[in-house]
Structure 1
């Protein structure tokens, strides 16, 4: 157990040498082989992200309230004062940390599935970009690993391009969680934040928007290739107003890592899901993966299915202060065509059949 803790502490610190040395010290027993140890570290790395996303904000909020009721209230008061002072930072470019983005822990996260990033075209540092990421999946593992960390080498593949993954603005109202997200270059998915990155932060910025959002997550399931895009035109209008090029991105395998119960349209459960989605901003999906100690059991751990994220060809977008609806519709149609072409070109390389098609909902 001490060896496991020593290895994982190295994962958090980003010190690969300490991890390897700890693994070499493992006793020669079947249940503690090096390969099994690496698999456990990969699983822990994935689980810490899931639990951080689901529970860190609520847990830290509860802790802050509790500290206010103890002799340590000064610490809570100081943090609360800092929170007020720093409130607008997430929508003003955030506070990314190259050290956090390069943690060795993220390479274990990457290798669990594994996750790969495929570059198809160069991106010019003299331009700004809006990446449309599809599909949402349950936890957007591909989006986070590729654009919220350096585990798949984004900065090396796209030099001088700075990615900012946009997610629910509500996450940035949560103490500690907001700082954790910002350290990875993650920003709120609202107009103010995206406008700032595309207009007041120079060039070479790439804002990554998961276009289908929470609504799309309700329909994700293994073997299903559908995206929620027909009525999603806000990001197109934003790109036109800022003169930011549009880049379609598709992650093959994102829908394969969890099994979900999909309720029929018109059912009470479907109505409840959509109602809660509007109230809290995310969809309460009924899903499962495998257990912590066995792939045959049911649990929160995602299945080990490869996720390959393909970054498509940029669509050059002119700048319009107030684009007409016809112009928005034109570029929306161009974007859909480009996304379909990207899907069709790479689908057979990553496990799909030639007859499979992308459904636009």
Structure 2
């Protein structure tokens, strides 16, 4: 079995395991660029499930921006690259958008993923404004996607070791409990809820700090609203 088949098998089994579905796929354009912004869970692969669903239903590939640490692990790097992940950078994302592609980003990155479970369903992108600047610079519409149940896949325990490793090396060293207290993911039922596209200011630039702050605040507020609303559904 080659690596492409392995990646497909992993995602298909994960989708069945989590009974995954997407609400709001009609908001994804059938052509042209769009920036899909998601909340970041510790499991991470929930973003891949969304990209898989978009490919299956709409026939569009999604460029997933991955945390740099993914590309430091040989096997994980190969799987991620095969499945459409690219190393997260403004350059890579802008190139894809200007080529008319769909790009998916979790702006909170590893910091948000490592939140303890006492902070689940809480967005942590307050100072992550690069995605807003990217949309403003390219004119790409932003489609917000909330999947609160992704925070239920693992119980994340707060501890100083996790904080120290992240702050010093920007690597993940979480203390987690999954199914039956093991590292096996819990079978949380995952639903991605998509918001209607939100257009950036029509000026084609990101050099106005006040405009960036205002657009970022709109996106952050709406995504948090979606997480809170659907976490209680």
Global fold match (TM > 0.5): yes
| Preserved contact between residue 117 and residue 309 of structure 1 (Cα < 8 Å) | yes
1:226 is displaced (CA, Å) by: 0.6
Q: 2:173 aligns with which of 284, 295, 309?
A: 284
Residue aligned with 2:178, SS:
strand
Q: 2:64 aligns with which of 145, 155, 165?
A: 165
Deviations 1:55-76 (Å, cap 9, x if unpaired)? xxxxxxxxxxxxxxxxxxxxxx
Corresponding residue of 2:132 = 236
Deviations 1:267-289 (Å, cap 9, x if unpaired)? xx1xx433421443333211111
When normalised by structure 2's length, the TM-score is 0.85
The 1:283–1:194 alpha-carbon spacing in structure 2 relative to 1, beyond 3 Å, is same
Deviations 1:130-176 (Å, cap 9, x if unpaired)? 21111x221223112222xx3xx31243x253211111224335545
The 1:250–1:180 alpha-carbon spacing in structure 2 relative to 1, beyond 3 Å, is same
1:250 is displaced (CA, Å) by: 0.6
The 1:196–1:313 alpha-carbon spacing in structure 2 relative to 1, beyond 3 Å, is same
| Preserved contact between residue 250 and residue 343 of structure 1 (Cα < 8 Å) | yes
Residue aligned with 1:166, SS:
strand
Q: Does 1:309 align with 2:192?
A: yes
| Preserved contact between residue 121 and residue 227 of structure 2 (Cα < 8 Å) | no
Provide the C-alpha distance between the structure 1 equivalents of 2:69 and 2:115, rounded to a whole number of angstroms.
23
When normalised by structure 1's length, the TM-score is 0.57
**5+ long unaligned stretches in structure 1:** 1-11, 14-95, 264-268, 354-361
Q: Which has the higher contact order (CA 8 A, sep 6+)?
A: 2
Q: Does 1:352 align with 2:232?
A: yes
Alignment map for 1:34-45 (pairs within 5 Å): none
Corresponding residue of 1:191 = 90
Provide the C-alpha distance between the structure 2 equivalents of 1:173 and 1:118, rounded to a whole number of angstroms.
34
Larger radius of gyration: 1
Deviations 1:82-138 (Å, cap 9, x if unpaired)? xxxxxxxxxxxxxx96x666x34432221222322222543334431221111x221
Provide the C-alpha distance between the structure 1 equivalents of 2:211 and 2:42, rounded to a whole number of angstroms.
33
Provide the C-alpha distance between the structure 1 equivalents of 2:72 and 2:186, rounded to a whole number of angstroms.
31
Alignment map for 1:143-292 (pairs within 5 Å): 143-147=47-51, 150=52, 153-157=53-57, 159=58, 161-199=60-98, 202-203=99-100, 205-221=101-117, 224-263=120-159, 269=160, 272-290=161-179
Corresponding residue of 2:24 = 119
| Preserved contact between residue 131 and residue 249 of structure 1 (Cα < 8 Å) | yes
**5+ long unaligned stretches in structure 2:** none
Q: Does 1:300 align with 2:205?
A: no
The 1:340–1:276 alpha-carbon spacing in structure 2 relative to 1, beyond 3 Å, is closer
